[in-house]
Chain A
Amino acid sequence: MLRGKIHKYDVDNIDTDRIIPARHCITVDPEKLAAHCLEDLDPEFASKVKEGEILVVGENFGCGSSRENAPIAIKGAGISAVVAKSFARIFYRNSINIGLPIFESPEAVNEIKKDDIVSLDITTGKIMIESSKKEFNSAPFPQMMQDIIAAGGMVNYLKNKHS
């Protein structure tokens, strides 16, 4: 179970160039990437996020490039999970593959308010808002994807499998 304060940007089509511009993608170091994460959307994003907090966004989050640096930058900034109205498909894959849990629920995004604290259950896909006690469901991940997220990403998942 994940629990944390949210940072909400109810904006649709936040593309990978806004999550992390290509010119900063010369590195895969999460800390260096995190310093520029979402800076065009909110210049203070990297400095105000605390470890374990949750990002809440609109439709088609992460559209554009296939760069894996995008979820790495978000995870590097301290974000423990992303709740979106919907995700672009390569961002969705990359998030699972680097071990960043993601939840898809337009209803939950509409209900989550500034400074809310939200609990997320990776196994069931349940999203719970503490202030309003409202619950929403994101489609639960198939077992393989849960295992990949639990392992912290594709690399560890495969290493564990072979060892």
Chain B
Amino acid sequence: MGQTFAEKILSKYSGKTVVPGEIVEIKPDIAMSHDNTAAISGIFEQLGVDKLDDPDRHVIVLDHCTPPANEKFAMNHKITRNFVKKHGIKHFFDIEQGICHQVIIENGLCLPGTVMVGADSHSTTYGAFGAFGTGIGRSETAVIMATGKIWFRVPETIKIIINGEFPEGVGSKDLILKIAGEIKADGALYKAVEFAGPTIENMTISSRIVLPNMAVELGAKIGYMIPNKETLDYLDGRAQKEFEVVESDPDANFEKVLEFDISDLVPQIACPHTVDNVKPITEVEGTKIDEVFFGSCTNARLEDFEVVAAVLKGNQIHADVRMLVFPASKDIFLEAMRLGYVQTIAEAGAIIMNTGCGPCMGNHEGVPADGEVVLATNNRNYKGRLGNKESDVYLSSPLVSAHSAIKGFITDPRNN
């Protein structure tokens, strides 16, 4: 019997043939942490170990509350910078660089066939490059600093095959919301999810990233896809070390195989207050909005800027709407500026914010008022997620967000 990607990679890293359900202890290639490095360093210092097992294993990116909203967040940044200097951590990215997952990708640290953990739930993102990427907690990140090791339960795998071509006005965000609505927030709990099929193979890197990024919203341990040609070309000259693509065997045992045909897919909206409360846009069209949040590790890449700028060009954002724009990285911001997207978006009346997570977990930079409605391109709409439990958050694609910003209500891009 062949092995799935998850079984194969955990076998390789543990040095024995493993089966689902087994507990293994392995050494990950990369362990990422962000502003929570301050808390993690505090735990590390309790462990009674002087030095990191391998400082080069750790990637630290300040992005969760940047620039700091108050003196407490500022102190976390200061503690992190001091820790980085003390332990000689070379993969450190300060607040101007961008969102952790995007920065890791741009710097050639996200590699096929590697194990990448992060003290951030959206570390499933790395599966877009064929890595075993998963979110972990703080104590275990501190333990990796001390010992290099972490335990995992070998997951069963659900394969999701996507067929068909995206209709006009529909993209990967609509697809992952559709999947979340169908299989629900615990539909892949503890499981590895493998996205496959011709549609996945033909998607751009930025569109592909959206799927594993939001695999955690299905409960998944990892979201994985075989790196396509565009991905391998992107890594050529960028990868910081050699890598080997790992794929599921043709006769691997999948717990479940699901198929979706996207030929008739319509834009999807996740309604308050769960990511799996998904409706076709036709059912919520016309819902009045107060704020558009265009940003996050899900949807704030160059291709998203291109889409949003094309819609906003020559238009004005509705007088009753504020649109906040957070590029996913400094590089994306610079490129979007060079291509004129930033100019176009700002002329339309949007507010160009700094790169970083923005209001995604409600720390600052765009917290809504009581009774307000936000249309957001991020990945979570839990009650209170953007910092106010008396507000409603709807999730959509960047395309829908741009059309809606102009009209002042949730707008179907296919009619405009």
Residues of chain A whose beta carbon lies under 8 Å from any beta carbon of chain B: 12-13, 15, 17-18, 21-23, 26, 28, 40, 59-60, 63-68, 86, 88-90, 93-94, 97-98, 142, 144, 153-155, 158-159, 162-163
Contacts and interface: CB of A to CB of B under 8 A. Distances in A.
Interface in B75-118: 76, 118
Contact of B135 (A66, A97, A158): A66
B189 A22 contact: no
A60 B138 contact: no
B219 to A, nearest CB: 6
B361 interface: yes
Contacts of A59: 186
Contacts of B185: 13, 60, 63
A153 B139 contact: yes
B140 A154 contact: yes
A88 B73 contact: no
B383 A17 contact: yes
A17 B46 CA distance: 27
Given A142-B23, A154-B143, A68 B382 contact: no
Contacts of A67: 36
Contacts of B138: 66, 68, 94
Contacts of A68: 39, 137-139
- The bracket for how many chain B residues form the interface is 35 or more
Given A28-B39, A144-B23, A94 B139 contact: yes
Given A17-B383, A17-B384, A66-B118, 10 more contacts: A21-B362, A21-B389, A22-B361, A26-B72, A40-B384, A90-B121, A94-B138, A155-B47, A158-B147, A162-B48
A65 B121 contact: yes
Interface of B: 23, 36, 39, 42-43, 46-49, 72-73, 76, 118-121, 123, 135-140, 142-143, 146-147, 151, 185-186, 189-190, 219, 221, 274, 276, 361-363, 380, 382-385, 387, 389
25 contacts: A13-B185, A15-B380, A17-B361, A17-B384, A18-B383, A21-B384, A23-B362, A26-B72, A60-B189, A63-B219, A64-B121, A66-B118, A66-B121, A66-B137, A68-B39, A68-B138, A86-B186, A86-B189, A93-B136, A93-B137, A144-B151, A155-B46, A158-B47, A159-B46, A162-B48
Contacts of A21: 362, 384, 387, 389
Nearest to A92: B190
B120 A66 contact: yes
Contacts of B189: 60, 86, 88-89
A37 to B, nearest CB: 14
A76 to B, nearest CB: 15
Contacts of B219: 60, 63, 88-89
Contact of A159 (B48, B140, B362): B48
Nearest to A159: B48
Contacts of B274: 13, 15
B378 to A, nearest CB: 12
A40 B390 CA distance: 10
A87 B219 CA distance: 9
Which residue of A22, A68, A89, A142 has the most chain B CB atoms within 10 A of its CB atom?
A89
B12 to A, nearest CB: 21
B362 A90 contact: no
B67 to A, nearest CB: 15
Nearest to A61: B186
Contacts of A60: 185-186, 189, 219
Nearest to B147: A158
A12 B139 CA distance: 26
Contact of B140 (A23, A88, A93, A142): A93
A93 to B, nearest CB: 6
A15 B382 contact: yes
